[in-house]
Homo-oligomer: A and B are copies of this chain.
Amino acid sequence: MAPPRCSVAVDLVVLTVQDGRARVLVVRRAIPPFRGELALPGGFVLADEDLLDAAERELAEETGLVDLRAHLEQLRTYGRPDRDPRGRVISVAYLALVPDAGVPVSGSDADDARWVDVEELLAEPGALAFDHATILADGVERARAKLEYTSLAAAFCPPTFTVAELRTVYEAVWGTPLDPRNFHRKVTGTPGFVEPTGRTTTRQGGRPAQLFRSGPSARLHPPMLRPGDGGS
């Protein structure tokens, strides 16, 4: 017998950090179903398009990002038979981490895109169309976990950044304050995490901070441990 056929979409969890808070890119849907409601950006995969290419295309369309400085990885696939009222649609979700400065507020395609506070969005049930609340929760959990054992936090930062800026990323994504002194030692003491540029920056008040760029290491050994993360 011929195998059943269905449509395949990619949906994007695009995260950034603004003003010390984790934010996610959402669009207001211009067409049914769920017209007028908030949803994650995404769209159908073209006939001869690779999944990652489709995700990059959607990311570019929604954010205006062309020079891909963003981190983009596959998150998970969602395929409940009733997840889309139009019929059987399989969604391959991707997780993107982008720096704050790198994305125009609304360089969007057709729908208007905006940044929304992640914690507030997850606290409100039914705020997102389809099963996108589940996808968002999975994406946030993936990001939280990956900050622990990879140097991915730098993906949220501009090309050069201070240790304090990197710390605000951890604090925003984890939702926990970290000790600035120990964090500084940990980051600068882990080989390959960050590299000094020799330059310094100064905001109003306080001693100037050294500027770093992202180092060559992808994995952190030993990992950066979340406070109060006792097993389950």
**Complex interface bits, A76-112 against B, C-beta within 8 A gives 1, otherwise 0:** 1101110000001010100000000000000000000
Partner of A231, one of B47, B219, B229: B219
A32 at the interface (CB under 8 A from B): no
| CA A217 to CA B88, docked complex, whole Å | 36
Contact between B5 and A7, CB atoms less than 8 A apart: yes
Contact between B79 and A44, CB atoms less than 8 A apart: no
One of A48-56, A116-124, A128-136, A197-205 contacting the partner:
A48-56
Count of chain copies: 2
Partner of A79, one of B3, B92, B218, B220: B92
| CA A9 to CA B76, docked complex, whole Å | 15
A interface, CB within 8 angstroms of B: 3-9, 44-51, 74, 76-77, 79-81, 88, 90, 92, 191-192, 217-221, 229-232
Task: Tell me the minimal C-beta distance from A84 to chain B in angstroms.
Answer: 11
Nearest first, the 8 A-B pairs at minimum CB distance are A3-B44, A4-B47, A51-B79, A221-B231, A3-B7, A77-B77, A5-B5, A219-B231
Contact between B74 and A77, CB atoms less than 8 A apart: yes
Contact between B50 and A77, CB atoms less than 8 A apart: no
Given that A90-B90, A230-B221 are contacting pairs, would A48 and B8 also be in contact in the complex, using a CB cutoff of 8 Å?
A: no
Given that A74-B77, A76-B74, A81-B49 are contacting pairs, would A90 and B231 also be in contact in the complex, using a CB cutoff of 8 Å?
A: no
Known: A4-B7, A51-B90. 19 other contacts (CB 8 A): A3-B9, A3-B44, A4-B8, A4-B46, A4-B47, A5-B7, A6-B6, A8-B79, A45-B79, A47-B81, A47-B88, A48-B81, A48-B88, A49-B81, A50-B80, A74-B77, A90-B90, A90-B92, A217-B232
